[in-house]
Amino acid sequence: MIRKTISALTALMMLLTAFVAAAETAPEPDYTTGTPWLYVDLIGNVTEETEANLKDNFALAANKEKLLKLEIPTGYPCIGIGEERVLQTQKDLARMFTEGTAVTREAKLAFNLYALLTDWDTRNAIGVAPLKEQTDAVERIASLDEMNRYFTEVAPEEQLACPWSCSGEEDSTSMGQWVISICWSELLLSDSAEYANETPSGKKQREAKTLLAKNMLVKLGYTEAEADAKIEACLSFERLLAPTVYTMEEQTVTGFEARSTNPRTREEVAEAGGRIPLLAYIEKAVGLPAFDRYNVLAPENLAALSRLYTDENLEMIKSYVIVHGVIDRAGDLDRESYEWKYVCDHVDFGEVTIPDDAASFSQYVTDRLPWAVARLYSETYLKPEDKERLTSLAEDMVAAYHRIIEEAEFLSDETKAKAIDKLESIRFLILYPDDWTPYSYDGLEIKTAAEGGTVYDAVTAIWRYKRLQKAAAFGKVPEATLWTGVSTPQKVNCNYDSRNNTVFVGGGMAGGSMYNSEMRDEEVYGKIGFYIGHEISHAFDRSGAMTDKNGNRVQWWTDGEMAAFMEKNRKLADYFSAIHPWEGVSWNGDTKTGEACADMGGMKCMLMLAKEKENFDYDLFFRSYAECHLLKLTPEYAMAAKFPDVHPLNYLRVNTVLQQFDEFLDFYGIKEGDGMYLAPEDRVNIW
């Protein structure tokens, strides 16, 4: 069922008009001018007439027929093999809620929340009343002292927003020790660079958030002029803070970890905060203990915030709190607010269609109560024989990495021994945990509508539960076998967590085109196997080289080895900087090196395993690898989401990786002069 109210449509039309106006001022780029390869993922770039030769552009040749058939569904900015799998798991989750029943206590929590979310009569009857109570409370604040009482005496989940945040965690410079991190101010725009140089996608985001905030404020009883003034005050405050908030690029380049590690004592934190009640906020509101190890991630941001935190700026601070709050909580209210919020959150995705409730709210419950849903999902959809097959594959891959490390000419024997020790200590979390007891939500209650429960209160209760859990866990080393803090089985994803030296393989990957029980080994190697290899490689990329097997951030290589590694990393960065998806677009190649290194390491590992197999079908393997990166997307989405992403673009993950290996070049007879050829001396594979 597709529902749209007039107001959501109006919101959408305003956004589209703004977007068209922006597009009219700049000439349309020629998207077919990519070098050294055509950007094949981009909608419209590949047609029947496009010449495809696997020696020149393997991603194009291997995926051409599939690309021609692939259609981006309405309401989405892209579609590909990963997205299809995500859509399938979403359907599976929705089916669980619409057709399944709750047996366990935590399943009942999930079903209660789902029932509250889909009960539009109650939600519409309540309207924005719970939010209005909170905005009114902030409006009544008349001095900075009262503002301080708000930030320290109201529980964080009941505050609308706060211009600083903190979290208690194990110290990544010394695992087993704990630290309280103070994070930089959250801004309305996801990249602080947008405040100095607004891009078309930043403009769209700003306009979408502004529109949502304005609609909400007017609905809460503000006049249009008051709403405009409030939003402008919030943005003025953010423009003052933005130069001190790390940009997306700063957060992804080499050296960021060191830059954001700034140890402070309790006294230093109190002093840096000025009139900001930082310690009282941390201890009274968040519930963390009085402690003596702090890390200020962005000291300049804290300094700016403390300069701006004055009685004169009270209205600006209140505006920040209110505007952020109404944007954050719009989705938990009536239908109209929910739809405004949905349109705003999906502004990068082209035309927005509100999905049906089952799809939307099964995902919503999954995001809020991930472990309750995880157990239901695993028991419904995942198979022990798949877990066994992938576990055994991971063991083979560890053996292959042994040899990769042994053969690395830039490491001493001593460092190789440490690398192998780290490799053997990697813990694999494959598909789902064996024991579900640690994943219950003991103590959490979600009241049904009949018991007086509302979505708003349920979401607040979940936040409170999670905050108290985190506060209680502070200082205690978590059980090594725990999956919490990593990821949940329903995720279509794999990842490597350097703090725990774990490789996670999401259950959402299993059962479809990324992996299924019927697949031949060649396909498994080219798809899910490659991803597992990619994740293992993160233990030895530019950040893995600075993290030991216990998750401590220490350099465990000699300076000479590190220099040799960084030289390889620089060559890899230069190689990516020279690539252009279309004329006029460039990026800092260093932002891609961590993921590109992992891609190449993953491929090398799979090729090693392939060598041990008799009659291995290399064509099927390489084509499976290309298919695994199949994607069709809009240029807007490419610019907004894919260019800033730390992963190379999909077609580049195919072409730049394969051309590093003789196994690939020789198998297809690729020679100098072919588009896929890369001379041995120009290759950039680190491992």
Q: Which residues bind Zn ion (CB under 5 A)?
A: 595, 598
Residues of the chain by 3-state class (helix, strand, coil), percent to 5: 60, 5, 35
| Least CB distance to Zn ion at residue 95 (A) | 30
Closer CB to Zn ion, residue 318 or residue 491? 491
**Cβ proximity of 253 and 590 under 8 Å:** yes
What gap in Å lies between CA 245 and CA 620, rounded to an integer?
47
DSSP conformational letter for 35: B
**Cβ proximity of 638 and 44 under 8 Å:** no
Closer CB to Zn ion, residue 531 or residue 556? 531
Closer CB to Zn ion, residue 433 or residue 648? 648
Between CA 464 and CA 470, with CA 468 as vertex, the angle to 5 degrees is: 120
Distance of CA 633 to the CA centre of its chain: 18
Between CA 97 and CA 329, with CA 353 as vertex, the angle to 5 degrees is: 70
Q: Kindly give the residue spans of alpha helices, DSSP state H, lying in 330-383.
A: 335-345, 357-368, 370-381
Closer CB to Zn ion, residue 234 or residue 598? 598
| Least CB distance to Zn ion at residue 537 (A) | 8
Chain residue at closest Cβ approach to Zn ion: 598
| Least CB distance to Zn ion at residue 505 (A) | 13
Closer CB to Zn ion, residue 214 or residue 422? 422
Closer CB to Zn ion, residue 590 or residue 595? 595
| Least CB distance to Zn ion at residue 250 (A) | 19
| Least CB distance to Zn ion at residue 494 (A) | 8
What gap in Å lies between CA 87 and CA 375, rounded to an integer?
19
| Least CB distance to Zn ion at residue 350 (A) | 27
| Least CB distance to Zn ion at residue 235 (A) | 34
Any residues with CB less than 8 A from the CB of 279 and at least 6 apart, and which?
266, 269, 270, 273, 290
Closer CB to Zn ion, residue 357 or residue 595? 595
- Region of 585 please: left (phi>0), alpha (psi -120 to 50) or beta: beta
**Cβ proximity of 23 and 639 under 8 Å:** no
| Least CB distance to Zn ion at residue 595 (A) | 5
| Least CB distance to Zn ion at residue 541 (A) | 8
Closer CB to Zn ion, residue 185 or residue 547? 547
Between CA 301 and CA 309, with CA 307 as vertex, the angle to 5 degrees is: 95
Closer CB to Zn ion, residue 212 or residue 390? 390
- Region of 373 please: left (phi>0), alpha (psi -120 to 50) or beta: alpha
